Structure 1
Amino acid sequence: MQDNVIDRRNFFKLSLLGGSVIAASTIGGGTVLHAAELAHEHKSTQDKSNKVRGRMFFQVQTDFDNLSAACERIYPKDEQGEGAIGLGVPYFIDNQLASAYGYNDREYLQGPFIEGMPEQGYQTPMKRNDIFLEGVKALEVISQKRYKKSFSSLKGTDQDKILIDLEKNKIDFIGFKSSEFFTLLREMTIAGALSDPIYGGNDNKNGWRMMQYPGAQMSYIDKIASDEFFNMEPMGLADMEG
């Protein structure tokens, strides 16, 4: 965890060359679920989006507010554009946790459960949505114990201290490591900021605009041979309908 936001954003821009954002923009199949019908309007002060959104997984408002605050610390608003809350990332994560991704559908979850290499991901029988729920609830427990306040009400620097402890495995959980929760949280925050808006995040394609990423353009045939840089209005999958 570092507060050098500009460096982090520049890293994301450079990652375009490796296609990582392309992968995020086309994420699909059994791992995502687009909420076509939103159940209810959420008017929490944590929600800075202009959209009417609905939750599908988190039932407790405090849990959702703390998730939102944690995402915002990982991907904060700055002079370059909106942060995680403004991009709708908390709703993206909520909806994904209610989908096949959250339930680890079509993934092997049987034993033996032994510690593997870091690139193998977490080794636990727990589903992702269970890990997220336990992790988010722990944010509140730790915050109340240390500061007598909800995590979402803390100063950013105090929120960072708790998140850093999670990242460094200084918080004990049963069934998984705190660093595994933090890694999932960070990965899903970035995915929500940069995936196609059809999946609930990257509100109004503003995440792509910050990266000057054109999205799902039909063709580059009229521009690909040019040495000129084209600042194109990004297109999402929904823009290609009809």
Structure 2
Amino acid sequence: MAENANQQEKNESLTRRRFLKNSGIAIGGLAVGGALGSLIPFKDKTDKDGVKTEQKAENYNLALMFFTQQQFRMVEAATERIFPADDNGPGAKDLGVAYFIDHQLSGDWGFNAREYMQPPFFKGEKVQGYQGRLRRREIFDIGLRELQNHSLKKFEKNFIDLDEEQQIEVLTDFAEDKVQLTTISPSGFFNMMRTATLEGAYSDPLYSGNRNMDGWKMRNYPGSQMAYTDVIDQEFKVIAPKSLKDHLGH
């Protein structure tokens, strides 16, 4: 009896395993890396000549978490005017700055989560920075809407459809408080976006900006090195930058 029970349990286990394996294949191997991943056979990708080729990994970090598509394109255009591409290297667009800002606004920074945000609210001195009830994500929502409105009023075009000089004019109007707004400070919004642009250009790529560490490379900045013991007693030398991601598993 015990032997028959053990055989029956073994058969059931094999049946379940076969079912899981077939199910994994049926759903396209969605459980890759888990229990199913070890059961699903994967074929190497080959070209037409039968030569194995490496598949380029997709960067799924480049996804919107806060902005609408229109807002994203506006921020991408505005930040490129603030940090344009030139002979020294890529601009904000190619560095992924708009993704950096989007992801920051979706988290604690966008909610002002670590700041005291209770009344009463008073107009602060310039050295005190922003003093008000609106969160950064709300300021960006309002600021981008007003940027679009000012663009339509001044040039009768959407901001993203303006040429570079016209976009600069619109941004300059905000920077110099030439736009009459009752909800937010135009220059306050511009300065917030400018600061976020620079942070996105030079932050660790882990946070979606500074793509390929090109922002660091333009400055010969070494990034997140584990140590400098091998070069500390030598003359200055350029070190290839490293991201925090490069130290995983160390």
Give the whole-Å Cα distance in 2 for the aligned partners of 1:200 and 1:174.
33
The offset of 1:145, in angstroms, is 1.4
CA RMSD, aligned part only?
Answer: 1.3
Give matches, 1:20-39, under 5 Å.
none
Give the whole-Å Cα distance in 2 for the aligned partners of 1:54 and 1:192.
15
Asked if residue 218 in structure 1 is aligned to residue 218 in structure 2, the reply is no
Matched residue count: 191
Partner of 1:65, secondary structure, is helix
The offset of 1:174, in angstroms, is 2.8
Question: Once the two structures are aligned, what percentage of the paired residues are identical?
Answer: 43
The offset of 1:51, in angstroms, is 4.5
2:196 corresponds to = 188
Give matches, 1:199-238, under 5 Å.
199-226=207-234, 228-238=235-245
1:132 corresponds to = 140
Asked if 1 retains the 8 angstrom alpha-carbon contact of 2:139 and 2:189, the reply is yes
Partner of 2:116, secondary structure, is coil
Partner of 2:93, secondary structure, is coil
1:56 corresponds to = 65
Moved over 4 A (4+): none
Give matches, 1:1-242, under 5 Å.
51=59, 53-59=62-68, 61-226=69-234, 228-242=235-249
Asked if 1 retains the 8 angstrom alpha-carbon contact of 2:117 and 2:133, the reply is yes
Give the whole-Å Cα distance in 1 for the aligned partners of 2:146 and 2:219.
33
Higher relative contact order (CA 8 A, sep 6+): 1
Give the whole-Å Cα distance in 2 for the aligned partners of 1:122 and 1:205.
31
- Give unpaired runs (5+ residues) of structure 2: 1-57
The offset of 1:115, in angstroms, is 1.6
The offset of 1:184, in angstroms, is 0.5
Asked if 2 retains the 8 angstrom alpha-carbon contact of 1:166 and 1:179, the reply is yes
- Give unpaired runs (5+ residues) of structure 1: 1-49
Cα deviation, 1:162-197, whole Å, max 9, x if unaligned, reads 111111111233332111101110000000000001
Greater Rg by CA: 2
Asked if 1 retains the 8 angstrom alpha-carbon contact of 2:143 and 2:184, the reply is no
Asked if 1 retains the 8 angstrom alpha-carbon contact of 2:148 and 2:158, the reply is yes
